[in-house]
Homo-oligomer: A and B are copies of this chain.
Amino acid sequence: MNNYSEIYKKELLDNVIPFWLEKSKDDVNGGYFTCLDREGNVFDTDKFMWLQGREVWMFATLYNKLEQKQEWLDMALHGADFMEKYGRDEEGNWYFSLNQKGEPLVQPYNIFSDCFAAMGFGALYEATKDEKYAEIAKSTFENILKRKNNTKGHYNKIYPGTRDLKSFSLPMILSNLSIELEPVLDKSLIDQLIKDSIHEVMDVFYHEDSGLILENVNLDGSFSDSFEGRLVNPGHTIEAMWFMMDLGKRINDEALIKRSVDIAINALEFGWDKKDEGIFYFLDLKGAPTQQLEWDQKLWWVQT
C-alpha cells in the first residue's frame, strides 16, 4: 500500500501537476485550457465551468493540504479571476461553458457547474482567507439549494406529474459539498447537510434487495420500474461511498464506514465486466438494455 502511495505521489507531483501548470494556463484571456492532447497542445479553446472550477479547487487544495507553494496558489487565483469575471449569469448561476474570451456559450442548465465552482472558491478561501471567495462559495451554495427541487429549471424536459423521480446526483454532490464547504458555511447547516445526505444516500437511494444504489427513485423513495428507475451507475456508487467514508471519518461513525465499504464492493462486483475487465458505465438493475449508448464504455473516472 505504502509503495503504491509513493508511486502515485511521485507521478502526481513530478509529472501530472507540472503538465497542467505549464500547459493549461491561458495567459492571454485568463482561465485554463482543458482540451489538451498528450503533448499538451490545445485542440479546443472552449472553457467548461466544471473544469475551470475543478482546476481552481485542485491547485488551491494542493496548496492547502500539501505544501504552500506560491505557484500553486497563483494558478488557482488565475482561474478564479476568470471565473469571477465571466462565469455567472445575472442571477449568479454558473454557465456550462464559455468561449476562450469568456463569452457565454451554453446556459446554466443544471447545477453541476455551480457545485464545482462552490468547491473551487471554498478551497481558495481556505488558502487566502479572502472573504470575497467565501462570499462567492456561499452564495453559489445558496443558489444550489434554491434550485434543488428543479435543478434544470425551464430546461427540464420531464412532463410533471406522470412519473416524478428524484435523482441521486443531488444528494451525492451535497454529501461532497458538505465536507468541502465546511470552512465557509455555518456549523449547524453543515451538520444538517451531513445528516440529510447520509440519510438520502444510505436509506433512500440504497436499494435493499440488490444492495446497490439507484440513480433515480420515486419521490417517496420507492423503486420505479422504468428505464430511469432501473438505472445503476457503479462508478457513481463507488464515488458516493468514498464520500460516505469521508463523512464517516468526519463524524466518527465506524458503522457507516463499514457499510460504505460493503456497498462499494458490491457495486464493483455488479459492475465488473467479467469478459473484458473494467467497470461498466451504466447497467440496468434487471439486466435489460439501458438507454445510454455509452453503457459499456470504460470511462476513466469510473475506473479511478
List chain A positions with a Cβ less than 8 A from chain B.
Answer: 35, 37, 43-44, 46, 95-96, 99, 103-107, 109, 154-155, 157-159, 162-163, 226-227, 286, 288-289, 293-294, 297, 299
14 new A-B contacts at CB < 8 Å, known A35-B288, A44-B227, A293-B299: A35-B289, A37-B288, A43-B286, A43-B288, A43-B289, A46-B227, A104-B159, A105-B158, A106-B157, A106-B158, A154-B154, A154-B155, A293-B297, A294-B297
Given the interface pairs A105-B162, A105-B163, the reply to whether A157 lies near B227 with Cβ below 8 Å is: no
User: For residue A288, which residues in chain B have a CB less than 8 angstroms away from its CB?
Assistant: 35, 37, 43-44
User: For residue A103, which residues in chain B have a CB less than 8 angstroms away from its CB?
Assistant: 162
**Complex CA–CA separation, A37 to B106 (angstroms):** 38
Shortest Cβ distance from A109 into B: residue:
B157
Q: Are A158 and B293 in contact (CB under 8 A)?
A: no
Shortest Cβ distance from A110 into B: residue:
B157
User: For residue A289, which residues in chain B have a CB less than 8 angstroms away from its CB?
Assistant: 35, 43
Secondary structure at chain A's binding surface: helix, strand, loop or mixed? loop
Question: How far does the Cβ of A298 sit from chain B's closest Cβ, in whole Å?
Answer: 11
Q: What 10 pairs across the A-B complex have the smallest Cβ distances?
A: A104-B159, A43-B288, A293-B294, A103-B162, A109-B157, A294-B294, A107-B157, A154-B154, A106-B157, A105-B162
Number of copies: 2
User: For residue A105, which residues in chain B have a CB less than 8 angstroms away from its CB?
Assistant: 158-159, 162-163
Shortest Cβ distance from A95 into B: residue:
B159
Q: Are A226 and B46 in contact (CB under 8 A)?
A: yes
User: For residue A157, which residues in chain B have a CB less than 8 angstroms away from its CB?
Assistant: 96, 106-107, 109, 155
User: For residue A99, which residues in chain B have a CB less than 8 angstroms away from its CB?
Assistant: 162-163
**Complex CA–CA separation, A95 to B158 (angstroms):** 10
User: For residue A163, which residues in chain B have a CB less than 8 angstroms away from its CB?
Assistant: 99, 105
Q: Are A162 and B104 in contact (CB under 8 A)?
A: yes
Shortest Cβ distance from A293 into B: residue:
B294
**Complex CA–CA separation, A242 to B109 (angstroms):** 36
**Complex CA–CA separation, A105 to B158 (angstroms):** 6
**Complex CA–CA separation, A155 to B297 (angstroms):** 28
**Complex CA–CA separation, A255 to B95 (angstroms):** 47
**Complex CA–CA separation, A89 to B127 (angstroms):** 53
User: For residue A293, which residues in chain B have a CB less than 8 angstroms away from its CB?
Assistant: 293-294, 297, 299
User: For residue A106, which residues in chain B have a CB less than 8 angstroms away from its CB?
Assistant: 157-159
**Complex CA–CA separation, A103 to B158 (angstroms):** 12
User: For residue A226, which residues in chain B have a CB less than 8 angstroms away from its CB?
Assistant: 44, 46
